[in-house]
Amino acid sequence: MNTDNPPLIGATIKRIRKDQALTLDTLAERSGVSKAMLSQIESEKVNPTIATVWKIARGLEVELNDIIKGGKERVRKFRSINADETTVLDTAGGPHIEVLSPIEMAEDLEVYLLELSPNSVLTSQPHAPGTEEYLTVLNGTVTVIAGEKSAAVEKGGFIMYNCDITHTIRNDTAATARVHMVVRFLKKNWV
């Protein structure tokens, strides 16, 4: 091992990653460093370059020195996203969808604001096994169908369901409905 690098750099990266509940796959996507390389770094099998550690720090949203100096303090997230930074998805005749969560949270925890015009439908194919959706109706009434189960949910109502089957959110009324939705993906096995 190169003595120029602190001996615990890999352990520090692994600790910060786990504190943030990130998988190696997620950190690889966020940092641009391959999953295989991250695994080798975390197990102290390779000495990363400063450029690689910098990429990992950016992926973890921490300062480079937090990794290099092996800070013991837990890294706390604090990030604000302005309305003009959100992604908007519109489909012809379908709902207006605002993605409120940042892209790096995709397939981990996703937050949406849906606006369903009268008689509009959002049908989704099954997500990964174990995935769940949590809906709060802000205005109007929607019908949620997951597999063979369905329920009408009115303003102020909440529903949760597994969405690893075909599922639908439907507005059968003559009024626009607004829905806040959280999609929580089952945690993958930690490496």
Domain holding 35: CATH number? 1.10.260.40
Cα angle 92-93-99, degrees, rounded to a multiple of 5: 70
DSSP 137: E
pLDDT in the model for residue 113: 96
Q: What is the pLDDT of residues 114-147, one digit of tens each?
A: 999 999 999 999 999 999 999 999 999 999 999 9
What span, in angstroms and rounded, lies between the C-alpha atoms of 17 and 1?
22
What span, in angstroms and rounded, lies between the C-alpha atoms of 178 and 136?
9
My answer on whether 130 and 160 are in the same domain is yes
Query: Over the chain, what HEC string results?
Result: CCCCCCCCHHHHHHHHHHHCCCCHHHHHHHHCCCHHHHHHHHCCCCCCCHHHHHHHHHHHCCCHHHHHCCCCCCCCCCCCCCHHHCEEEECCCCCEEEECCCHHHCCCEEEEEEEECCCCEEEECCCCCCCEEEEEEEECEEEEEECCEEEEEECCCEEEEECCCCEEEECCCCCCEEEEEEEECCCCCCC
My answer on whether 119 and 60 are in the same domain is no
Residue after which a domain boundary falls, among 24, 43, 68: 68
The yes-or-no verdict on residue 1 having pLDDT over 70 is no
In a domain, 191, yes or no: no
Q: What is the pLDDT of residues 43-94, one digit of tens each?
A: 989 889 999 999 999 899 888 888 887 766 665 667 788 888 888 888 777 7
Residue after which a domain boundary falls, among 38, 68, 98: 68
Domain encompassing residue 14: 9-68
The count of structural domains within the chain is 2
Residue after which a domain boundary falls, among 44, 68, 92: 68
In a domain, 74, yes or no: no
Q: What is the pLDDT of residues 11-44, one digit of tens each?
A: 899 988 988 888 999 999 999 999 999 999 999 8
In a domain, 77, yes or no: no
